[in-house]
A and B are shown apart, each in its own frame.
Chain A
């Protein structure tokens, strides 16, 4: 939703670890996540709130449980904007270099 929030949310090792945990197993409860982080609920909740505000985590209530899901859609937008564009240029540079070295007349 907001690139600043995404980058800020990613700029912390605990929050990146949270995303990794959800990548390994999607749909975890706060309790499960705290266990894996070795962290008190209160601090974990603050990190999760920031990730949720950046739309990197979505939550769903299933019965009495609240499950957390990784939401990589904003990451994909960042990838489109900040990675793929430059990757393309780099690849086309390599392509030009290869043509230059190998010649076009094969």
Chain B
């Protein structure tokens, strides 16, 4: 049975260097400051990576494998809900492409092989724009956006 898949491509321009952008994705101590999560791996092709909520519970929310890595310009990894790790049809693929662009860095995040209409497809289409604008804000000003912010009256 073939499944219908969908893709998303997100682009942001950041006043920074490719090295800093690459580290913002792969270094837990940096990612937790703007993403609220850490990406934990030894970052070797074939190794697993885990997306861990940076709070006391440290729950593993996403898992996958490093497919390809060439610092500081390219990282490809598979991506799945930790609870759906055993189902290959739930694994999607994320590519980070980092290139110098004038005095900035162009960061392109392509999320492919997503099951069309799935919870993950909906989740990431809300998630990536928020994460990328928080990363941009963090790298340019030193302050990320609180991704878990709620209205004061909630």
Of the residues B13, B133, B153, contact of A92 by C-beta under 8 Å? B153
Which of chain A's residues 22-72 have a Cβ closer than 8 Å to chain B? 26-27, 55, 58, 60, 69, 71-72
Q: Give Cα A80–Cα B141 distance, bound, in whole angstroms.
A: 15
Contact between B129 and A72, CB atoms less than 8 A apart: yes
Contact between A91 and B133, CB atoms less than 8 A apart: no
Contact between A75 and B129, CB atoms less than 8 A apart: yes
Q: Give Cα A94–Cα B9 distance, bound, in whole angstroms.
A: 38
Given pairs A55-B13, A76-B133, A87-B151, 20 additional interface contacts (CB within 8 A): A1-B13, A26-B9, A27-B7, A60-B110, A69-B9, A73-B11, A73-B12, A75-B129, A76-B130, A76-B132, A77-B136, A80-B133, A80-B145, A88-B151, A91-B152, A91-B153, A92-B151, A92-B152, A95-B153, A98-B153
Contact between B8 and A95, CB atoms less than 8 A apart: no
Q: Give Cα A87–Cα B133 distance, bound, in whole angstroms.
A: 19
Contacts of A1 in B (CB 8 A): 13
Q: Give Cα A69–Cα B145 distance, bound, in whole angstroms.
A: 25
Contacts A73-B133, A80-B145 given; indicate if A91 touches B151 (C-beta within 8 A): yes
Q: Give the number of A-B contacts (CB < 8 Å).
A: 58
Q: Give Cα A76–Cα B147 distance, bound, in whole angstroms.
A: 12
Majority secondary structure, A binding face: helix
The 10 lowest CB-CB distance pairs between A and B, nearest first, are: A95-B153, A69-B9, A76-B129, A91-B151, A58-B11, A72-B129, A76-B133, A92-B152, A73-B12, A58-B9
Whole-angstrom distance between the Cβ of A101 and the nearest chain B Cβ: 13
Which of chain B's residues 1-35 have a Cβ closer than 8 Å to chain A? 6-13
A59 nearest CB neighbor, chain B only: B9
Contacts of A94 in B (CB 8 A): 153
Contact between B152 and A73, CB atoms less than 8 A apart: no
B128 nearest CB neighbor, chain A only: A73
Whole-angstrom distance between the Cβ of B36 and the nearest chain A Cβ: 15
